[in-house]
Amino acid sequence: MPSSSARARGKAAFFPADYPKVERPRPRGITHVLDRLQHLSAEELEYLSPYFDIAKIGWGLPLLLPRDRIRQRIRLYHDVSVEVSTGGTLLEYAVVHDRVAELVSEARELGFDIVEVSSGIIELSQAQVDHLAETVRDAGLDFFVEVGKKDLQHQLSLKETNTQIARARALKPRQVIIESRESGKGVGIYDSDGAIKWDWVRSILDENPADELLFEAPLESQQVQLLRELGADVNLGNVALSSVAPLASERLGLRGETFGTIRHARAVRGPPAAKFLYFLLETYRGLDQTQLAHMSRLPRRTVQSALESLRRQGLVEEAISLHDSRRREYRLS
């Protein structure tokens, strides 16, 4: 209980009295967990459930357990309002064995909410992907479309990745998943050491809304970097169950890596130049037009136009520099 002095001053208790309220389905800031059939308890899930949204029973793991066990496991998640997805490998297995209709029908009967459509192992034409998405939708289930290849030696180019994302978005899935595999190395937006290829990320986000994408980020270091650069509301997938609480604390800026630095995403409309200048001002705060033109390598006229767009949206304000009263600099509103 708060002390009498704290109550007298009208201050709220420092420690929360209850779990945070969560909007379901959460529109952004989604945490998508990889379930490896590890031990689960109702008590553990109750603690963690406000901080993740979807559990994917990965690969073909649902085929390792009797139907009743899978149904029971899904019910554990549903009891705490967490949705459950199949993995893309399971659907690809069903395609190879000509059992897609059976998979989709039985997945719904068992309680799965979402089916992941992917071509990470086998090659599927766009017409086949379209048909799979339609089959899932007709069964009353939601779906993800995953873009990317699992084979380290046969990765998509950036251009192919953007093309496939655009085609996937046209199908209106819950989100488009950017493949990383469980290792987070040598696949998609990650190099062979697991470092993020930021040129890829920026290109993808230049062409696609962030809330329609879900970046697989199995390593906690990758999660931190994506949060720091893209904001607290970035959608992250392939998160280990043991990483749910650490990731939640990172989103809130409660760990050293994000303390005082985490950004909460705001919708920025307009051309890519406006979004890029907004990113620079988020990162470096007060900058004048000369600094922005130098850092962005954009023409001065483009910088002026982008700043005016940001000002009209109420995202940026002009102020006198604290260091030089002759300079006008720009800061986030």
Residue 283 has pLDDT above 70, yes or no: no
pLDDT at position 67 is 97
Q: What are the pLDDT digits (tens) for 301-331? A: 999 999 999 989 888 888 887 667 778 888 8
User: SS3 for 32?
Assistant: strand
Does some domain include residue 15? no
Residue 257 has pLDDT above 70, yes or no: yes
Q: Are 139 and 206 part of one and the same domain?
A: yes
pLDDT at position 320 is 81
How far, in Å, CA of 278 to CA of 150, rounded? 34
How far, in Å, CA of 73 to CA of 35, rounded? 10
Q: Are 35 and 95 part of one and the same domain?
A: yes
pLDDT at position 9 is 56
Residue 142 has pLDDT above 90, yes or no: yes
Q: Are 231 and 301 part of one and the same domain?
A: no
Taking every pair of C-alpha atoms in the chain, what is the biggest distance, in angstroms? 74
Residue 1 has pLDDT above 70, yes or no: no
Length of the chain: 333
Does some domain include residue 290? yes
Quick check: 329 and 303 in contact, CB under 8 A? no
Q: What is the mean pLDDT of residues 125-151?
A: 97
How far, in Å, CA of 116 to CA of 86, rounded? 6
pLDDT at position 11 is 66
CATH number of domain containing 300: 1.10.10.10
Does some domain include residue 258? no
Band (228; pLDDT cuts 50, 70, 90): confident
Does some domain include residue 9? no
Q: Residues of the chain with pLDDT > 90: what percent?
A: 68
More confident residue, 134 or 258: 134
Q: Are 138 and 197 part of one and the same domain?
A: yes
Tell me 62's DSSP state.
G
Band (279; pLDDT cuts 50, 70, 90): confident
pLDDT at position 229 is 83
**Domain of 309?**
272-332
Q: What are the pLDDT digits (tens) for 3-27? A: 555 455 556 688 988 888 888 888 8
Concatenated DSSP letters of 174-213: S-EEE--TTT-SSSTTB-TTS-B-HHHHHHHHHHS-GGGE
Does some domain include residue 36? yes
Q: What are the pLDDT digits (tens) for 12-71? A: 688 988 888 888 888 899 999 999 999 999 999 999 999 999 999 999 999 999 999 999
pLDDT at position 77 is 98
* Cis amide bond preceding 25, omega within 30: yes
Q: Are 96 and 229 part of one and the same domain?
A: yes
Q: Are 230 and 95 part of one and the same domain?
A: yes
Residue 73 has pLDDT above 90, yes or no: yes
CATH number of domain containing 220: 3.20.20.70
Q: Are 201 and 93 part of one and the same domain?
A: yes
Mean pLDDT in the chain?
Answer: 90
Residue 282 has pLDDT above 80, yes or no: no
pLDDT at position 265 is 56
Q: Are 165 and 196 part of one and the same domain?
A: yes
Does some domain include residue 192? yes
More confident residue, 43 or 272: 43
pLDDT at position 152 is 93
Q: Are 277 and 207 part of one and the same domain?
A: no
pLDDT at position 301 is 92
Does some domain include residue 17? no
Q: Are 283 and 231 part of one and the same domain?
A: no
pLDDT at position 10 is 58
Q: Are 319 and 219 part of one and the same domain?
A: no
Question: How many domains are there within the chain?
Answer: 2
From 102-111, 195-204, 209-218, 261-270, the region with the lowest mean pLDDT:
261-270
Helices (H), 144-288: 158-170, 198-207, 220-230, 244-251, 272-284
Does some domain include residue 73? yes
Band (141; pLDDT cuts 50, 70, 90): very high
- Note the pTM of the prediction, 2 decimals: 0.78
Q: What are the pLDDT digits (tens) for 230-246? A: 888 999 999 999 999 99
Q: Are 240 and 304 part of one and the same domain?
A: no
Q: What are the pLDDT digits (tens) for 173-190? A: 999 999 998 899 999 999
